A = this chain, B = another copy of it.
Amino acid sequence: MENFDYYNPTKVIFGKETYNKLSEEISKYTNGRKILLTYGGGSIKKNGVYERVLQGLDGYEIIEFGGIEPNPEYDTLMKAVSQVKSENVDFVLAVGGGSVIDGTKFIVSAAKYEGDPWDVLIKKDNASFTDAVPFGTVLTLPATGSEMNSGAVISRSDLKEKRTMGGPQGFPKFSFLDPTVVSTLPKRQIANGITDAYMHTLEQYLTYPTDNLLQERIAEGILSTLIEIAPKVLEDPSDYKAASNLMWCATMALNGTLRAGVAYDWSTHMIGHELTALHGIDHARTLAIIAPNLFKVKFENKKDKLIQYGQRVFGLDGSCGEEAILRTKTFFESIGIETSISQYTSETDNTANIIKKRFEERGWDGIGERGDLTPDQAKEIVEMSI
């Protein structure tokens, strides 16, 4: 097993009717009374979450910052940074899905940063965020796992850039996970959430057999559970058993547990992010498009693990590994996720070449768990995915 550090101080409050504990949790981190509430397009004002959260914040002064978009935008977030500074906000509460939470991680970190926050995102002179306004989350969409990790992805659409950030200051102090919110979601978002959690798990699993036998089994446990509950939660999003398992799987898929002591491969995400930047395809869907073809192109690298995955997750005995790729694609399609780029856009003539060029520009030559995925292979994978 490879050496690893594991650290995750986020407190999870999981279940129904828990928002009455919000004040108690916030009071552990600030004596101040001024809270910035961040959210997205306003669905929380239609589905009842907003009212219930406000009831849990009785006695606090609430300032709102809405309109954080999917793939949260640097320029939007910088407005909230100004607000946090000018209003002397004591605590930030993100109420939303991964984009709102990611955006909030940037807001709270940038608000305590002296220089230009863009320098941190482009890693200029090793600039880094080290402090943050304390923040917590109320999760409204199980998908990205951002509610229990310190990472975030921030976009600048004018530059067609997506940049990642992290660091210990990025952990939420707490996250409220109430699975009843799933019943308020469009099925498209539920399917995206399932896919996102599934792919987060695969990226930390589908490499080569490693010495961390337990982590491999936990990954297989998440994949098996998602396969088990996916049709149920899509059939009936108010099925609490299915919804709560989806929510917990999505959190566990990216809270640091799976990566401990194993090899991982974020190549699918790297190609997928470029597809979102180019064509605006939902993040989760780009992963479902790319992964099966990436597994084909890197088949020899991943063959042993594909066989194990096939056996333990799909019950395939004596498979050579290819069947597991097909089953993965079939699973995504069974929950309504189209797995070809041309099902989302007709402007595909230059997609593969542009992504190859992007890889070259970024110096991404030799990525993946064995450090051997080239820009040409990224191009090949995208061509196969059209």
* Residue ranges of A at the interface with B (Cβ–Cβ < 8 Å): 1-16, 18, 179, 211-215, 217-218, 220-222, 224-225, 228-229, 240-241, 244-245, 248-249, 252, 257, 260-261
25 A–B pairs (Cβ distance < 8 Å), ordered by A:
A1-B14, A1-B179, A1-B240, A2-B15, A3-B15, A3-B16, A4-B14, A5-B11, A5-B12, A7-B10, A7-B11, A7-B12, A8-B8, A14-B261, A15-B261, A211-B240, A211-B244, A212-B244, A212-B245, A214-B248, A215-B248, A217-B218, A217-B222, A218-B218, A244-B261
* Contact yes or no, A241 B3, CB < 8 A: no
Specify which of B1, B15, B217, B222 is in contact with A15 (CB 8 Å cutoff). B1
- Which B residues are in CB contact (< 8 Å) with A1? 14-15, 179, 240-241, 244-245, 248
Which of B11, B213, B224, B257 interacts with A228 by CB under 8 Å? B213
Q: Are the C-beta atoms of B225 and A221 separated by less than 8 Å?
A: no
Instruction: Write the nearest CB–CB distance from A261 to chain B, whole angstroms.
Output: 7
For A10, list chain B residues within 8 Å (CB).
7
CA distance A252 to B240 in the complex (A): 27
Q: Are A248 and B7 in contact (CB under 8 A)?
A: no
Given contacts A3-B14, A7-B9, list 10 more A-B pairs with CB under 8 A: A1-B240, A1-B241, A3-B16, A5-B11, A211-B241, A214-B221, A214-B249, A217-B217, A217-B224, A217-B225
Residues of B close to A222: CB separation below 8 A: 214, 217
Q: Which residues of the other chain, B, contact A240 by a CB distance below 8 angstroms?
A: 1, 211
Which chain B positions have C-beta within 8 A of A13?
5
Distance between Cα atoms of A245 and B240 in the complex (Å): 34
